[in-house]
A and B are shown apart, each in its own frame.
Chain A
Amino acid sequence: MKFSANRLYVERYVKCHNCGILIYETDSEQVKSEAGSLYCTSWCRDWDAKREAAG
């Protein structure tokens, strides 16, 4: 979730590429894949990679 500087509106809704949960700017566990996809945790990144690998 990217809020405006004055926090009065949402500029962008940001979600985990795998589980779909909202990711806030301050979430410390968020990670990116090599391809640049954003995930809420490394668990979601790894799961998504396994799914992709399995076709």
Chain B
Amino acid sequence: MALSGIAPSLHARVGYRSPMSKPARGATVEFQQVTKHYDRREKGPGAVNDLSLTVPTGKICVLVGPSGCGKTTSLKMVNRLIEPTSGRILIDGQDIGGQDPIALRRGIGYVIQQTGLFPHQKVGENVAVVPRLLGWDKKRRRERTDELLSLVGLDPGRYRDRYPSQLSGGERQRVGVARALAVDPPVMLMDEPFGAVDPIVRERLQNEFLRLQEQLAKTILFVTHDIDEAIKMGDLVAVMQRGGILAQFGPPDEILANPVSDFVARFVGADRGLKRLSLARVRDLELLPVVTAREGADAADARARARAAPFQYLLLVDASDRPIGWVDQDSIPSAGLLTEEMAIAMSPLLDRRATLKDALSMIIDAEVVAGIVVDHEGRALGLVTADTIGAAMRDGIVTEAATRNEPPDEASDPDGETDDPDGETATIDRLGAGG
């Protein structure tokens, strides 16, 4: 396969490193005053006007806006399917305008609407399209295909030899993602990749993709017309408006909290306050302390500790510190042992990774107006109330959490169960759960 004229840096990136444990990290993508005008004869998806933005390495930047806002045009200028009228696009500091477009495209992952799978090729052949263009031998293609299918949750033995028409919409989207990842490109372009499936499947694919991205840390440009998808998927969101004008660029919470124009405010919707709730997680909150006592512990001691605390109830936990229920401090006997029967009510248990939106919803529904935050083993860490969540929103904790620059390694645990190093150890101390 002739690859002469390919930029050396790109060549090195295209080279696939086996095994998966060390995928190529992303590269920065920079738009510098990029403009695309169409003259009257030329047909195109939408003009772009003086677009400047930088997508940092390993981040997902979502281009969102109504149809005709130039978001797809912007995307296609990155792999030079469309050439800008003026301005430059740099990948890792190098102007792509001077690179061989064929080689450039082979080094960029591309997922398009309706996935663009080739109907005449089996799933395995579809995934191996770019490796084949790059001249990989059959054995290497096969190994890589199987690896990628497993990565996106499809059993290679079952799916490798099927045709796309034999797959469900969700399976096709997965194959589309696998195909784009085939040569481990540092940059991926995704044009409404989850547009062709029903909302339930879409949400699952989005979650899976975000989990995958935690491991892969690609630099991703993602186009959608759906503001909810933009907020969910984007580390950065670029809201574009008709005429190819960048209306606002920033982390999703900033856009929800401080829309810079009427257009942005209208586009993100009147419920933007609620949308912000889905951006932060319970682990980002400062938890209220809770007094706990184990089942079978001395009642007098527990009563004394409960009365000293501001909250009116004592949380009864089992031998593993898992919550059993609330005990009214006035009904704790002055002597004897604590028993399970004393518990009068229970709160919803909140995973530390739950979004504030889900947490608030559960708290509103519950009989006790507080949620108990538990760690991955079910041990109580502290309390969350609707007031805590409201205060956090006002204090801007959400913005902090949403923009926090987490090192990619932190989240590389495949099952996502690892506690963050910045966990609420202080809260655990205050709980005194062990004592």
Question: A and B from one assembly?
Answer: no
What is B's interface to A at a CB cutoff of 8 Å?
A: none
